[in-house]
Every structure is written in C-alpha cells, then in structure tokens.
Amino acid sequence: MEKNHTSFAMKVNSSDKQESVCVFGTGDFGRSLGLKMFQCGYSVVFGSRNPELSSLHHKEIEVLSHAEAAQRSDIIIIAIHRDHYKFLGKLTEELQGKILVDISNNLKINQYPESNAEYLAELVPGAKVVKAFNTISAWALQSGHLDGSRQVFVCGDDKESKQRVMNISRTLGLTPLDHGCLVTAREIENYPLQLFPMWKFPLYLSGALFIFYFIYYALRSVIHPYVTQNKDTTFTLAFSILNHAFAGMAVTLLALVYLPGLIAAILQLYQGTKYRRFPNWLDHWMLCRKQLGLAALAFAFLHVLYSLGLPNRYSAKWKLANRVIKQVKSNKTDPFLASDVWRYDGGLTLGILGFFLFVLLGITSLPSVSNMVNWREFRFIQSKLGYLTLILCTVHTLVFGANKFLKPPPLVWYLPPTYVISLIAPSVVLLLKFILIMPCFNRPLTRIRQGWERNSLSKKIQLGNSNTEV
C-alpha cells in the first residue's frame, strides 16, 4: 500500500491546470520537496542566491533569483535555515500577500525565544505565514518509503492559506492536521526533536527498579553465600536473578499505574472539590500511566518467557537428576503431596490468568482498538479488568512466596526475600482501593466527581440544581 500511495500521487493533477509553487533554497530538503511537488504535477520554480550555479538535474525546473522566483507563484516554501532568514526582510515588497510556508526545524528543543515561523511572520509583516512539512523526512519524500508517520502538522493565522497548504500535502500523499494559529508553531517545531517524552519517566523508573532488584538479589543470593560459606553462585546472574527482577518490576510497575488515581481521590476527598488542580508531579504521573502499564506488561512478558524456559535450563535438569539419584541411593521415594500440587499449580494458574488479562489490557491500549470502544467500555477494561489483573498477579506472587515462607529461608543480613519486597507496592494499592470503595469514602467521592464542592456556599445552592443540569 505504501508504494501505491506514492505512485498514485505521482500522477495526480497531471491533467489539471498546473498550480505553481516556488521554493526558496536549493538545500537537500528544499530540493526533495520541490522535486516531489514537481512529480505530483505542480509547476515548480526555485529561488536561489546563486541561481546560475545551482543545478537540479531537471530541465523543466527553473532556478531564478529570489525576487524573480517570488513573482512566479503566490505560495513560497522557505527552505532556508532560520539563521539566514534576515534577507527576506528586504524582499517585503515582493512577498506582500504571499503565502510563506516555514518548513524549518531547529537542532534543540526551544532553541530560540520565539518559533521560527513567528520570527518569519515578524520579518515579513505583509505575508501569510504557514508552518508545515517540518515533521516529514527529506529521505522519505525522495524514496517514497513513507513507513513512518505521514502526518503534516499545519498551523497559521490565515485560514485560507492553511487550507491551500493542506491541499498540497494531501496531493503529496501526506496527511495534514490543522493545529490552529501560528502561536502553536513552537510545539510543531519541537515535535520532531522529541524522543518518546512520555516514556522518559517510566523508563528511568524501570531502570532504577531493575538496579535495585538486581543488587538486592545479588546481595542475598550471590554475595552472602560467598561471604559466609565461600560458595560461588555467580552463575545465577545469567538467569534466575533476571527472572526475579523482571517479576518484581512487573507487579510493582502495575501497582504504580493505579497509585496516582488513588492519591488523586484522596486529595479530592481532602480538598472537597475536583476543580482544584493536582500538583504537577501527580499530573505528570497520571498522564504517563499508560506507558507505565505497558512497561509493566513488557516485564511481565519477559518473566513469562523466563519462567516457561526454566525446565530448559542445565541446572533444572541437573537438579531433577540429582534429586532422583538421592532418592534411589537412600532407597526412599518422596511422597506425592497434594498440598504442594495445590500451591505450585495454583500459583502457576494465577500467574497465567493474570498474564492473560494483562495482555488483554495491552491489546485494548493499541490506538486502533481503543478508538473503537466507548468511554464506558474503556473504563470497564482499564479499571475493572486492570484491578483484577493486579489482584491475580499479587496473589500469584503471594502464593509462590508463601510456598517459600512455610519452609522459611533464614533472613539474610536482615533482608527479607525479594517476594516480600515485590508485594509492598501492590499491597498498598489494593489496601487503599479497598478503603476508598467503602461507602463512607465512596459516596462523597462520587458526589465530588459529579461537580459537588464541600466548601463553597454558592455550590450548595448549585447542588440543588445538580439534578437539573448535565
């Protein structure tokens, strides 16, 4: 399909009366965009400081001086670095009433006090400046390999100019998105420089958790045996330690998805209104809950792969063989303990069902799937199914932990086993949730969320209205 789009576009307009476009600047992106527009049926002219020196490998595309080129079209694409915009100030007359399309990007986020497009609008007051095309890659335009995003964010103060630029991008096979006035240009200019901004917190948190669990487990299972018994168990670093770390991270991160909502509820109960803003850290935490949840799912997936891979391990086979040999030598057969089956198999079942629901949550967070459900369905999945997943995973940890606690390993350097550490966050979350769904807290909370305010006189009267208004 990608290929089709491109080749479709190449013939577009070929029989229409040709619209003409001017491009200032013969740099790489300017040339790519100009050639692409030419292929899509536009008549293209370039404006350059040294028109006689610029060859474009195309006889049908002229290269003129800036002033000459500007007269050929009322749409001018400014393919010049911001640092060299100055000379455009001298062309104010030629650019009067023209649509100037600012396609520039910066090297750093918020590099200049104002956005490039606004700076351009200031320099050439009589022109209509439109910001567009900066999110598209020159290489993608040339090669037609538009596998990444085809979205072109467009902004500008003149609606008609915006519309014309949006039409051009549609003709090039791209998807224009109107983002309002020119003041939003800054955000459009920052967009291509972002590298997963919403993932920063979840990734750093995951990193910190991993280091914590790794060191913690290493202390208990590698360093302690070495110090006290001079036993070398470094080989656990290759597998067991990772499996335990990923399991702990998954359940902890999942709990941290639901914690901010509970903190928000407590704040709302305390403040008696929902109209006060949350502190910034809470707001940011709430905004990246989806990413936290997906990170948790990723680690749960790793934990599942590791756990299913357990019997493939050299040491698993060796241990099983050794156990049998011991039984044979001592002429004793271990009895079959139904209670052990319940604990092991039950723990496995809880883990499998928890992971299954977790995958369901992940699938419904795919943009194309979540777009097809209404709010009631979305809340049902993300809240009801989410808590069920958390409960299953917590009990799964508890059962496997309990298994160990009943034959308790001695406390190592006062450090409880990893299981206990992993259970802290989910236990806190489930406890808070349990408290908050009790009627004495749930009822006022529901009222607050419907708009009721505790400390406002006028609101009390408005409460009388609350059955009247939506």
Among 305, 411, 428, 431, binds a copy of itself (CB under 8 A): 305
Nearer to a copy of itself, 271 or 315 (CB): 315
CB 25 within 8 A of CB 138: no
Nearer to a copy of itself, 9 or 99 (CB): 9
Nearer to a copy of itself, 1 or 406 (CB): 1
Per CB under 8 A, which of residues 269..288 are in contact with a copy of itself? 275, 286-287
CB of 402 to a copy of itself, least distance (A): 14
445 sits in the region (left: phi over 0; alpha: psi -120 to 50; else beta) called alpha
Orientation angle between helical segments 289-309 and 338-364, nearest 10 degrees = 140
CB 369 within 8 A of CB 363: yes
CB of 216 to a copy of itself, least distance (A): 19
Among 67, 89, 122, 323, binds a copy of itself (CB under 8 A): 323
CB of 344 to a copy of itself, least distance (A): 4
Among 214, 344, 387, 405, binds a copy of itself (CB under 8 A): 344
CB 205 within 8 A of CB 248: no
Strand 128-131 with 151-156, pairing: antiparallel
Residue 289: φ, ψ to 5°: -60, -40
Residue 369: C-alpha distances to residues 152, 242, 273, 296 (Å): 23, 32, 33, 20
Among 101, 205, 222, 304, binds a copy of itself (CB under 8 A): 304
Per CB under 8 A, which of residues 387..446 are in contact with a copy of itself? none
Among 366, 406, 438, 440, binds a copy of itself (CB under 8 A): 366
What is d(CA 397, CA 391) in angstroms, rounded to the nearest whole number? 10
Residue 396: C-alpha distances to residues 341, 382, 430 (Å): 14, 20, 14
**In this structure, how many other beta carbons lie within 10 angstroms of the beta carbon of residue 441?**
14
- Does position 384 bind a copy of itself by CB under 8 A? no
Beta-bridge partners for 21: 44
Per CB under 8 A, which of residues 160..219 are in contact with a copy of itself? 170-171, 178-184, 187-188, 191-198
- Does position 230 bind a copy of itself by CB under 8 A? no
- Does position 310 bind a copy of itself by CB under 8 A? yes
Q: Which residue has the tokens 């609101």?
A: 459
CB of 358 to a copy of itself, least distance (A): 12
- Does position 3 bind a copy of itself by CB under 8 A? yes
Q: Which residue has the tokens 């006090």?
A: 113
Task: Identify which range of 211-219, 222-230, 410-418, 462-470 contacts a copy of itself by CB under 8 A.
Answer: 462-470
- Does position 449 bind a copy of itself by CB under 8 A? yes
Q: How many C-alpha atoms does 182 have within 13 Å on its Cβ side?
A: 21
- Does position 64 bind a copy of itself by CB under 8 A? no
Per CB under 8 A, which of residues 88..127 are in contact with a copy of itself? 103-105
